[in-house]
Each structure stands twice: as structure tokens, then as C-alpha cells.
Amino acid sequence: MSETRPPRDLAVGAEITGPARRMTAERIEWYDSAMLSAARGELAQVGSNIHTDEAYARSQGLPAVIADGMIMTNWISSMLVEHFGLSYVERSELRTKFIKPVPLGMTVVCRGRVLSVERLSSGAVAWMLDVWCEDERGVKVVDGHARVEVPA
């Protein structure tokens, strides 16, 4: 993994990818409980919501439970950590739009493509990437972009 070194192999057009992950009830519960635990500062267990409770999701007009979009945002974030390391944590931006629901059983892959590489007046180098998540058929379910500055 990169720590502070510029990812020299990531030229314009280069693609990055994360692992294929199947959306499971366990993954949904891990995220929801972790989010609550981080907010409370102590271990917490998620209760009923549209991500965990089929009957409640249907009562809200959804066809079934859907994954929280922040799970996919975090998987994209992990892909950026993998390629840019500390630079991503220090100075970056990430936009994600949740354009299709992710149901249980869908296999999701995160991908990115370098749009530009720009040397800034500070000497830092800024990478701009399209980032997205797609299902087994290559249909985008999350779309977005990222920008990461790697210091000189």
C-alpha cells in the first residue's frame, strides 16, 4: 500500500478496482451497528430500519431491505486508501451518488478511472478520478468522483 509516495503508475486512463463483495445482512448489520457505536462511543446494536427489517422496509414503500449507501462509499474510500494511503486521509474529496438500490445478494465491485493528473503550484500532484460501484452485470449502482492531492 502507498503511504506518502505518489502513485507513479496511475496515469490518465489508468483503472483501479476493489474486491467483489456480495451484499449480505451481516455486512449491513456490521455497518449500521458500527455507525451507531461510533456515534455513541460505546458498542451498540442496530435495531429495525429499512436496511435491516424487511417488513419495515415494505411499509415505507421499498420492495425489500436495501443496503445503506455509506457502505459502498466506504468501499470506494478503502480503494482510495489502498492506492493513495495517507495522502487520501490528509487532503482529498469524494462524492458519491446512490443511483440504484443495492439489495441483499447483489455482488458489488468498486472501480475508478484516472481523469487527470495535475502538478499544482505548491509542487503537490492532484489526481482526479471517476469512481463508481457496479453490479454483476456492470450496471452502475453508485456514481461519483474523487480528487486526491499527494504532497511534493
Partner 1 sequence: MLGGYISDLAAGDVFDPVEYVLTAFMASEYAHGVEESWEGFHSSGAPGGRQMRPPTMIHVDKMRILERNCLREQRVGGAKGPHARIHYEYFARQHSPAYVGERLIVSGRITDKYVKRGRTYIDYYLEVRTADGRLVTTYTDKTLLKYEPEGKASP
- The yes or no reply on residue 8 touching partner 1 (CB under 8 A) is no
Instruction: Report the SS3 class of residue 102.
Output: coil
Question: Of residues 20, 24, 93, 107, which one binds partner 1 by CB under 8 A?
Answer: 93
Terminal alpha carbon distance of the chain: 18
Binding window for partner 1 (CB under 8 A); candidates: 8-16, 80-88, 107-115, 123-131: 80-88
Q: Grid coordinates 468498486 are at which residue?
A: 110
Rounded distance between C-alpha atoms, residue 148 and residue 125, angstroms: 8
- The yes or no reply on residue 52 touching partner 1 (CB under 8 A) is no
- The yes or no reply on residue 91 touching partner 1 (CB under 8 A) is yes
Question: Of residues 81, 104, 124, 128, which one binds partner 1 by CB under 8 A?
Answer: 81
CA distances from 149 to 93, 98, 131 (A): 9, 25, 16
Rounded distance between C-alpha atoms, residue 49 and residue 56, angstroms: 6
Binding window for partner 1 (CB under 8 A); candidates: 7-15, 39-47, 123-131, 132-140: 39-47
Q: Which residue intervals of the chain are DSSP H helices?
A: 25-40, 54-59, 69-84, 86-90
- The yes or no reply on residue 152 touching partner 1 (CB under 8 A) is no
Report the nearest approach of partner 1 to the CB of residue 138 (Å): 22
Rounded distance between C-alpha atoms, residue 139 and residue 103, angstroms: 14
Report the nearest approach of partner 1 to the CB of residue 49 (Å): 7
Question: Which residues lie near partner 1 (CB under 8 A)?
Answer: 1, 3-4, 21, 27, 30-31, 33-44, 47-50, 56-62, 68-71, 73-75, 77-78, 81-82, 85-86, 88-98
